[in-house]
Structure 1
Amino acid sequence: MKTNLQTETFTCPSCIKKIERNLNSQEGVDAAKVLFNSSKVKVEHDENQINAEEIKGIVEKLGYPVLDIKSR
């Protein structure tokens, strides 16, 4: 499954590494990529191991509010 999260604007490039490192270390996440300029987080994951709401929770726990979620 692919999930895209729209977040508030990122303020620094180190934010990208922090989010990608945390998401990529989660069981069930195949790939996580942060797009700095568009403030999007794209995650490919196994829905049976981690769902979109759990991914949102991880990003928000790191201090980045999620404005929108789209999964397909």
Structure 2
Amino acid sequence: MTNKTFQLETLTCPSCASKIEAVVKRIKGINEVEVLFSSSKVKVSFDEGAANEGEIKKTIEALGFDVLGVK
């Protein structure tokens, strides 16, 4: 299992955080997703054999949120 934290531009509403969490959870290979509204971070645990960092970033950005960095 791989763990990554995606730093987003400032989230403006809690429903945005819920939306990101729901959509990222649908990606095959995602084990756990936690969106931290107050710090605008998305913590993701995933199986690298089924999902990858680029796919997760692309999914978040497709929702209209800029990913500033990944740790």
TM-score range for the pair, normalised by the shorter chain length = over 0.9
Number of corresponding residues: 70
Determine the structure 2 residue equivalent to 1:8: 9
Identity of aligned residues (%): 47
Gaps (5+ residues) in structure 2?
none
Letter in 1 for 2:57: K
Q: Under a length normalisation based on structure 2, what TM-score does the superposition of the two structures give?
A: 0.95
Question: Aligned-pair RMSD on alpha carbons?
Answer: 0.5
Determine the structure 1 residue equivalent to 2:29: 28
Letter in 2 for 1:52: E
- Residue 53, structure 1, aligned to residue 54, structure 2: yes
- 1:23-47 Cα offsets, whole Å, 9 max, x none, are 1111100011100010000000001
Q: Under a length normalisation based on structure 1, what TM-score does the superposition of the two structures give?
A: 0.94
Gaps (5+ residues) in structure 1?
none
Separation of aligned partners in 2, 1:42 and 1:31: 8
Question: Structure 1 residue 66: deviation in Å?
Answer: 0.2
